[in-house]
């Protein structure tokens, strides 16, 4: 994945560049809004990570300009401003996701991978399959090894999201935002309990677990152990 | 920063100069000047008018007598005139006469001499004459020249008659009036200026009281107040209002200090833990595995710290009313049910059960995320502080006559009635919350969310346990 990082803080930028490289992504760096906009316009990136406060041209302005000229590359906005209305402003400007500083690198990585996947054309899939686990989006039915599994509506949506991002780390915050549409801190490990219930329904009694916990990051659904 | 010295301690000249420059003094003296000028104009007009009238009267009398004497001369000839003048001439009379023959030799009359230009001008003239001394009981000896008006009277070719009137008394009267006017208005002007000066001094002194209080407050003496005269006038009213404002500011400052103390506590404690963990990992020297574990715990602490920081920041922003923008219309009952369902598994794991009664919630226009967070915090608190095993957490949405009540109740130890008011105050944390996991700012955040929507938070007795009621105003759904 080719990443363009528009970030004026060198230390953060170099940390991210290095970390992304370790995860197999190539990251270019632009240190101000104008340079970032120029580089993004030249194209060829799978995802843009844009800091909200940038010298010369503000991050939101960069995203707005890109969207105005028809660039559809997914954008993750990074910001120290984290309140509900800041988020909404970020998304309204054309950002696809919004992450508040300070953030965990695993969260950032999970989100950009999910974003890059989202822009892929397989969005319209009607069936998700992970091993012998099948989720039929049209019939709203889940089977494992041909056996039907009964899920609560919320459990179904949870599984749907996990399977849509099969093979990718999905963080608790991402689940809370995408499955429940909540953008606040639930204080306790509510998500963990929901996931463990789901796991009880899809993995219990099967020798090969599909729903894995990724330590310090979140969850991942895939075939085979970690 | 040097405070300017008070005008009351300045040299006298400078003080008066400053006083003369005040608005009060300028207004007072301006008004006085206006009144004095207006009064002087009126009085001067009356004076002039009176003068004209008196002169007119004298002249009319003179002319009438002249006509009579002319008629007498026509009818009786020079002899009759000579006799009449001799008869009419009193030594100190008001009526004055001068009769001479054709060559100018004086024949009769009580005037010894008349200036020739008066005799030559048919309209007559004004002149001074020497009157014989008179002994007056009141004024003593009155000697010297007196003022007279006179006109020539045609009484035939061989006589020159000039008839006049003594107007010395009128002149003296006019003089006196003029003097009185001058002295009176002069006095009035001086009195006005002095009065204006005094009034301004009074006002300036009281304003200076306010100024000096303001200066010492700016210099840091926050407890200083403006002294009030107690007579309830407008300056007193101003001073009282300013004092009330200062009280309010001091109160807010006190609140702010409490807030920053609490923030310091809330952030320093986890910071200290974070540091301790890092230090412990270094000290124990547990190899790569030990360091790894230490670092993971440090990150955990950092995450907790970030959560607390975010909560504090959000509360502060809500208190400032800065999140008005994102109001949307949603089903309050559905939201509450939804959030409660999110917590249902956790509640069950904690050995509690959740009873949700949220069917009566209307569509409201509010910030969905914040209301959701508030409900989440309340349920989270109920799980943390509610009694374990078999306890029931009740989540309810009820519409009442005054608005919408969202309540979450537990069966835990509750909060003592005397602590309830304090517990919902912003940033106040009861001691027991500091020992529990989490930021402990949950209820403060709920209060801030309620306030942002114009609502309130009440703590009630659930018998046993605590019932937290978030009341949202009717306008959120009746509009």
Domain A125-221 architecture: Orthogonal Bundle (1.10)
The three-point CA angle A65-A174-A18 to 5° equals: 65
Task: Give the C-alpha separation, A84 to B372, whole Å.
Answer: 12
Q: Do A183 and B369 touch (CB under 8 A)?
A: yes
Could you tell me which chain A residue has the CA closest to the CA of B324? Answer: A85
The tens digit of pLDDT for each residue in A163-174 reads 888 888 898 888
| Homologous superfamily of A2-121 | Response regulator (3.40.50.2300)
Give the residue extent of every domain in chain A: 2-121, 125-221
Task: Give the C-alpha separation, B85 to B153, whole Å.
Answer: 12
Q: Do B373 and A184 touch (CB under 8 A)?
A: yes
pLDDT of residue B137: 55
Q: Which residues of B touch A173 (CB under 8 A)?
A: none
The whole-angstrom distance between A105's CA and the closest CA on chain B is 11
The three-point CA angle A21-A23-A27 to 5° equals: 35
Looking at residue A218, what DSSP letter applies?
A: E
Q: Which residues of B touch A100 (CB under 8 A)?
A: 310
Q: Which pLDDT band, with edges at 50, 70 and 90, does A159 fall under?
A: very high
The whole-angstrom distance between B271's CA and the closest CA on chain A is 15
Q: Which residues contact B405 (CB under 8 A, 6 or more apart)?
A: B396, B397, B398, B399, B469, B470, B471, B472
What are the tokens at A143?
A: 């089977």
Provide the number of CB pairs (under 8 Å) joining chain A to chain B.
Answer: 70
Q: Which pLDDT band, with edges at 50, 70 and 90, does A83 fall under?
A: low
- CB-nearest to B317 from A83, A102, A180 is A83
Q: Which of B326, B367, B393 to mutate to test the interface with A (most CBs of A within 10 A)?
A: B326
Q: Do A187 and B380 touch (CB under 8 A)?
A: yes
Task: Give the C-alpha separation, A140 to A118, whole Å.
Answer: 21
- CB-nearest to B369 from A84, A190, A194 is A84
Q: Do B342 and A194 touch (CB under 8 A)?
A: yes
Q: Do B296 and A216 touch (CB under 8 A)?
A: yes
| Chain A residues within 8 Å of chain B (Cβ atoms) | 82-85, 88, 100, 102, 104, 154, 180, 182-190, 193-194, 197, 216
Q: Which pLDDT band, with edges at 50, 70 and 90, does A226 fall under?
A: very low
Residues in a beta bridge with A4: A28, A48
Whether A48 and A75 have beta carbons less than 8 Å apart is answered as yes
Looking at residue B122, what DSSP letter applies?
A: T
Which residues in chain B land under pLDDT 70?
1-15, 18-19, 133-143, 321-325, 388-389, 424-440, 479
Q: What is the CATH number of domain B244-317?
A: 1.10.287
Could you tell me which chain B residue has the CA closest to the CA of A197? Answer: B345
pTM of the model: 0.62
Looking at residue A189, what DSSP letter applies?
A: -
| Chain B residues within 8 Å of chain A (Cβ atoms) | 296, 299, 302-303, 306-307, 310-311, 313-314, 317, 322-323, 325-326, 338-339, 341-343, 345-346, 349, 367, 369-370, 372-373, 376-377, 380, 383, 438-439, 442
Q: Which residues contact B172 (CB under 8 A, 6 or more apart)?
A: none
What are the tokens at B25?
A: 């003094």
Q: Is B188 helix (H, G, I), strand (E, B) or coil?
A: helix
Q: Is the peptide bond before B464 cis (omega within 30 degrees of 0)?
A: yes
Q: Which residues of A touch B453 (CB under 8 A)?
A: none
The whole-angstrom distance between A83's CA and the closest CA on chain B is 7
Q: Which residues contact A183 (CB under 8 A, 6 or more apart)?
A: A84, A87, A176, A177, B369
- Could you tell me which of B88, B307, B48 has the C-alpha nearest to residue B174? B48
Q: Which residues contact B277 (CB under 8 A, 6 or more apart)?
A: B294, B297, B298, B301
Q: CB count, 10 Å around CB of A160?
A: 18
Question: Domain B324-478 adopts which CATH fold?
Answer: Heat Shock Protein 90 (3.30.565)
Give the helix, strand, coil percentages of chain A, each rounded to 5: 40, 20, 35
pLDDT of residue B4: 46
Asked if ipTM goes beyond 0.85, one says: no
Query: Contacts from A158-161 at CB under 8 Å and sequence distance 24+?
Result: A158/A194, A158/A195, A158/A198, A159/A135, A159/A198, A159/A202, A159/A221, A160/A128, A160/A135
CA B279, B282, B286, B292 torsion: positive or negative? positive
Q: Which residues of A touch B306 (CB under 8 A)?
A: 102
Could you tell me which chain A residue has the CA closest to the CA of B441? Answer: A187
Q: What mean pLDDT is predicted for residues A46-69?
A: 88
Q: Do B439 and A188 touch (CB under 8 A)?
A: no
What are the tokens at A164?
A: 């849509």
Q: Do A182 and B373 touch (CB under 8 A)?
A: yes
- CB-nearest to B376 from A187, A197, A216 is A187
Q: What mean pLDDT is predicted for residues A139-151?
A: 87
* Residue B411 backbone class (left: φ over 0; alpha: ψ -120 to 50; beta: rest): alpha
Task: Give the C-alpha separation, A26 to A1, whole Å.
Answer: 6
Q: Do B383 and A83 touch (CB under 8 A)?
A: no
Q: Which residues contact A59 (CB under 8 A, 6 or more apart)?
A: A6, A33, A50, A51, A52, A53, A77, A78, A79
């Amino acid at each position: 994945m080719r990443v363009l990082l528009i970030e004026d803080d060198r230390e953060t930028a170099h940390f991210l560049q290095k970390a992304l490289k370790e995860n197999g992504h190539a990251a270019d760096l632009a240190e101000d809004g104008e340079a970032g906009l120029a580089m993004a316009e030249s194209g060829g990136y799978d995802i843009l990570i844009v800091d909200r406060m940038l010298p010369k041209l503000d991050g939101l302005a960069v995203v707005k300009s890109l969207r105005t000229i028809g660039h559809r590359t997914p954008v993750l906005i990074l910001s120290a401003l984290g309140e509900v209305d800041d988020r909404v402003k970020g998304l309204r400007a054309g950002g696809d996701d919004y992450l508040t500083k300070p953030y965990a690198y695993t969260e950032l990585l999970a989100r950009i991978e999910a974003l890059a996947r989202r822009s892929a054309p397989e969005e319209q899939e009607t069936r998700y399959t992970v091993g012998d686990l099948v989720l039929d989006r049209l019939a709203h039915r889940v089977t494992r090894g041909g056996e039907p599994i009964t899920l609560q509506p919320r459990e179904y949506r949870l599984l749907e999201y996990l399977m849509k991002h099969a093979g990718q780390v999905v963080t608790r915050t991402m689940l809370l935002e995408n499955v429940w549409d909540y953008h606040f801190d639930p204080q306790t490990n509510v998500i963990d309990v929901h996931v463990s219930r789901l796991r009880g329904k899809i993995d219990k009694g099967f020798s090969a677990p599909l729903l894995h916990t990724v330590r310090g990051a979140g969850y991942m659904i895939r075939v085979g152990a970690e | 920063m040097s405070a300017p010295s008070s005008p009351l301690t300045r040299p006298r000249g400078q003080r008066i100069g400053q006083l003369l420059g005040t608005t009060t003094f300028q207004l007072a003296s301006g008004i006085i000047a206006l009144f004095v000028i207006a009064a002087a104009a009126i009085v001067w007009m009356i004076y002039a008018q009176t003068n004209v009238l008196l002169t007119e009267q004298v002249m009319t009398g003179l002319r009438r007598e002249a006509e009579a004497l002319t008629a007498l001369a026509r009818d009786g000839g020079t002899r009759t005139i000579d006799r009449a003048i001799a008869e009419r001439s009193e030594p100190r009379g008001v009526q004055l006469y001068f009769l001479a023959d054709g060559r100018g030799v004086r024949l009769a009359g009580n005037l010894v001499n008349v200036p020739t230009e008066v005799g030559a001008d048919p309209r007559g003239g004004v002149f001074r004459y020497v009157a014989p001394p008179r002994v007056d009981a009141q004024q003593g000896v009155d000697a010297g020249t007196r003022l007279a008006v006179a006109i020539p009277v045609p009484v035939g070719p061989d006589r020159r008659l000039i008839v006049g009137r003594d107007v010395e008394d009128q002149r003296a009267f006019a003089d006196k009036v003029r003097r009185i006017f001058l002295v009176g208005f002069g006095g009035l002007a001086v009195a006005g200026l002095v009065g204006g000066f005094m009034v301004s001094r009074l006002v300036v002194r009281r304003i200076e009281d306010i100024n000096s209080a303001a200066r010492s407050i700016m210099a840091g003496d926050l407890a200083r107040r403006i002294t009030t005269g107690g007579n309830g006038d407008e300056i007193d009213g101003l001073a009282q209002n300013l004092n009330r404002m200062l009280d309010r500011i001091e109160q807010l400052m006190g609140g702010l200090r409490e807030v920053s103390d609490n923030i310091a506590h809330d952030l320093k404690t986890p910071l200290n833990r974070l540091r301790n963990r890092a230090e412990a990992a270094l000290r124990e020297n547990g190899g790569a595995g030990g360091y790894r574990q230490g670092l993971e715990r440090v990150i955990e602490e950092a995450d907790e710290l970030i959560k607390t920081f975010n909560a504090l920041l959000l509360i502060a922003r809500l208190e400032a009313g800065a999140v008005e923008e994102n109001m949307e219309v949603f089903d309050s009952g559905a939201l509450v049910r939804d959030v409660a369902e999110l917590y249902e598994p956790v509640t069950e794991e904690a050995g509690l059960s959740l009873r949700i009664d949220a069917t009566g919630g209307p569509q409201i226009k509010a910030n969905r995320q914040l209301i959701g967070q508030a409900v989440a915090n309340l349920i989270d608190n109920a799980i943390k502080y509610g009694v374990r095993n078999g306890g029931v957490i009740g989540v309810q949405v009820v519409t009442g006559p005054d608005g919408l009540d969202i309540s979450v109740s537990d069966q835990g130890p509750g909060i003592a009635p005397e602590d309830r008011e304090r517990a919902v105050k912003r940033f106040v944390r009861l001691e027991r919350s500091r020992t529990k996991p989490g930021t402990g700012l949950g209820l403060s955040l709920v209060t801030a969310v309620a306030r942002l929507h114009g609502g309130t938070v009440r703590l009630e007795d659930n018998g046993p346990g605590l019932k937290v009621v978030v009341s949202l105003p009717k306008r959120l759904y009746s509009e």
